Structure formats: C-alpha cells, structure tokens
C-alpha cells in the first residue's frame, strides 16, 4: 500500500511540474514583441495615425491604405511602389505618358476630380496636391468618401518634398529617402560627365505648341533639372519667365535674344508647328545654326517633374550632349 501511495504522490508531483513548466513557457512566449499581431500597440507604425495637412485639416491616415488616389502625384506613388486606383488626365485623354509602363491598366481620372467619379474608384486614401483643388466645398465631398490629405502648393511644387511627405503618409519613409539618395547619386555622376564636355555652356528648354514658344522657369520642371541639378547655365531670356507658372510664352520678336548654346525643343504639334521652325528668325539662332537643337518627345517627361521624370530628362541630356 505504501508503495502505491508513494507511486501516486510521485506521479502527481511529476505532472504538476510538467504543467508548471508548460505554463511558464507559454507566458514567456506571450511576452515576446514578435508574437504581437501586426497593427497592435507593439507595432505602432502600422496603426491608423491622425496628422494635420497643409490646410489645417485633421486627417486619419489608414494603417495600410490599399486604394490610393493622388492625381498628378503618380510619379512619387510609382517611385514608392504604389499603384494608384486612377491616374490624372486632361481633355481628350491626355495623361502622363512617360508613366505608361507603370500605369497602363490604371483608369483615367479627370483633372478636376468630379466627386461622383472619385466615389466610383472607391479610394481608402485621397492625396491632393494643391489647395485650389478642394475649394467650394470639394474637400468636404472628398473627405466624406475617404480620408483626404492636402499636400499644399509649397510642398507639391518640390518633387523631393512631395516624395518624402507621401512616403511619410504611406509608412514608406525609408523607400522615399533611398529614392531621393539614388537620384542625387545619378545627378552627381551625370554632372561630372557633362562638365567635361559642356563646361560652362548654356541650355534652354523650349516648348512649341500651337505655333507658340514657351520657355521653362529656371527653378521648375526641366529647368530645375538642367540648371539646378546638372549645372548648365540659364540664358538671360529664361529669367523673364513668370515665376507663378512653369512655362512662359515668348514672342517671336523676343526669340533672337535666346543666346543658348543648346536648345531642347519639345514640339507638341508637329504638323501645325513645322512652319514656325522654317522661319528665318528661328534658323538665325546660334544653337540652330550649330546643330545643337535636340528634339524631345512631347509625350516624354519634359513637361513634368518627379524622380522618374527627372531621371529620364537626365538621360536625355546625356544622350544629346555627351555623345
């Protein structure tokens, strides 16, 4: 009998030890941060966040937005590996063709973003580049559809600030910073290559559309790339550009003042504009006479701005000048 009692006590003791050990291991496992589900307090980066936009709106950004609508901000979205639910367009279906390889299956969204069409694409986050796009009650209509964040003109006018801010909103800060760093490295190499060929020579960007010439602002779009990034000199005539617009019309009478060594010409209307390029006043320009006019595709990136757009411009400049 004693042996039986002893055996039972020993068995119970062993079982109690096993249970205690199991409970201890279970408690330790629960204490590990990695065991917390994504989106919990242990992973605050994946949680909804409330931020303030350029207009003072308090906006709750979803933890992991899947359907982002950001018209005219597709360049930074694609740079961050995000495909929008719709892409910006203007009349006759014109869009940012240089992004076609990334957005070929993405439906078009009119530039003025009619609320009923915004509702149709069912976004879970809307990012607007300019305050002017949400006037007259439009912000309230958009924000009733999905959280709506306005970047504001100050940020939207700078592709780098736009990229970093959108990266912050989408929890992709590291990707945004790397993309900006990669661009800087590309520009540094290109600038060094150009200096060995072009030296201190000047370049102009002209847009020819409907028989009218436009000159780019030195600090915007392709002007920022040529002058700010690549270090080419800006002709005096470009200083007359309207600072409120990316492109300023210049009259034919003013054209002879364009003393640029190189001209990058964006011809948006080949048929109607061909006569303009046959005029003596055009043919008298030094860059034309020296064969230093480079035609850029009107469907390319030269009318836009962004990491992808700018890198394409850098490549075009190198192909044109550094042969």
Is residue 15 in a domain?
A: no
Is residue 224 in a domain?
A: yes
The per-residue DSSP string of 21-71 comes to HHHHHHHHHHH-GGGSPTTSTT-GGGS-EEEE-TT--EEEE-SS-SSEE-T
- According to DSSP, the residues that pair with 108 across neighbouring strands are 87
- According to DSSP, the residues that pair with 293 across neighbouring strands are 263
pLDDT tens for residues 170-181? Answer: 999 999 999 999
Is residue 10 in a domain?
A: no
Tokens 């064969």 correspond to what residue?
291
If pLDDT is split at 50, 70 and 90, which confidence band does 45 have?
A: low
> What range defines the domain where residue 252 resides?
191-321
Among residues 108, 141, 172, which one ends one of the domains?
172
| Stronger pLDDT, 21 or 275, i.e. the higher one | 275
Q: State how far the alpha carbon of 179 is from the alpha carbons of 164, 172, 185, 231, in Å.
A: 9, 11, 10, 21
Determine the average pLDDT of the residues in 265-293: 87
In a 10 Å sphere around its CB, with 0-12 CB exposed, 13-18 middle and 19+ buried, how is residue 285 labelled?
A: buried
Both 228 and 300 in one domain: the answer is yes
Both 265 and 144 in one domain: the answer is no
If pLDDT is split at 50, 70 and 90, which confidence band does 270 have?
A: low
What local confidence, expressed as pLDDT, does residue 79 receive? 98
Is residue 88 in a domain?
A: yes
Determine the average pLDDT of the residues in 184-211: 94
Both 280 and 238 in one domain: the answer is yes
Both 168 and 95 in one domain: the answer is yes
Is residue 38 in a domain?
A: no
Q: Looking at residue 279, which CATH number applies to its domain?
A: 3.40.50.1980
**Which segment of 37-41, 44-48, 106-110, 312-316 scores lowest on mean pLDDT?**
37-41
What local confidence, expressed as pLDDT, does residue 269 receive? 73
pLDDT tens for residues 120-169? Answer: 999 999 999 999 999 999 999 999 999 999 999 999 999 999 999 999 99
């Amino acid at each position: 009998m004693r042996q039986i009692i002893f055996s039972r006590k020993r068995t119970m003791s062993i079982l109690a030890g096993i249970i205690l050990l199991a409970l201890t291991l279970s408690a330790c496992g629960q204490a590990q941060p990695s065991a917390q589900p994504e989106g919990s307090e242990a992973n605050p980066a994946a949680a909804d966040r409330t931020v303030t936009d350029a207009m003072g709106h308090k906006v709750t950004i979803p933890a992991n937005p899947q359907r982002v609508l950001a018209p005219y901000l597709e360049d930074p979205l694609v740079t961050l590996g995000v495909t929008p639910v719709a892409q910006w367009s203007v009349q006759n279906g014109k869009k940012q063709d240089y992004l076609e390889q990334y957005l070929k299956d993405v439906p078009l969204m009119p530039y003025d973003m009619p609320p009923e069409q915004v509702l149709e694409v069912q976004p879970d986050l809307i990012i607007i580049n300019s305050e002017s796009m949400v006037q007259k009650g439009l912000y309230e209509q958009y924000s009733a559809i999905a959280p709506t964040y306005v970047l504001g003109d100050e940020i939207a006018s700078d592709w780098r600030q736009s990229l970093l801010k959108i990266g912050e909103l989408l929890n992709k800060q590291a990707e945004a910073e790397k993309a900006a760093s990669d661009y800087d490295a590309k520009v540094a190499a290109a600038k060094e290559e150009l200096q060995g060929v072009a030296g201190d020579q000047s370049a102009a960007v002209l847009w020819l559309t409907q028989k009218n010439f436009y000159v780019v602002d030195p600090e915007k779009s392709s002007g920022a790339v040529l002058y700010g990034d690549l270090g080419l000199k800006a002709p005096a005539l470009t200083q007359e550009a309207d600072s409120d617009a990316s492109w300023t019309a210049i009259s034919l009478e003013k054209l002879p003042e364009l003393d640029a060594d190189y001209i990058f010409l964006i011809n948006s209307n080949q048929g109607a504009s061909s006569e303009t390029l046959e005029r003596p006043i055009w043919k008298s320009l030094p860059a034309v006479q020296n064969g230093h006019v480079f035609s850029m595709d009107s469907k390319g990136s030269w009318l836009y701005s962004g990491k992808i757009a700018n890198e394409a411009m850098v490549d075009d400049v190198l192909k044109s000048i550094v042969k």
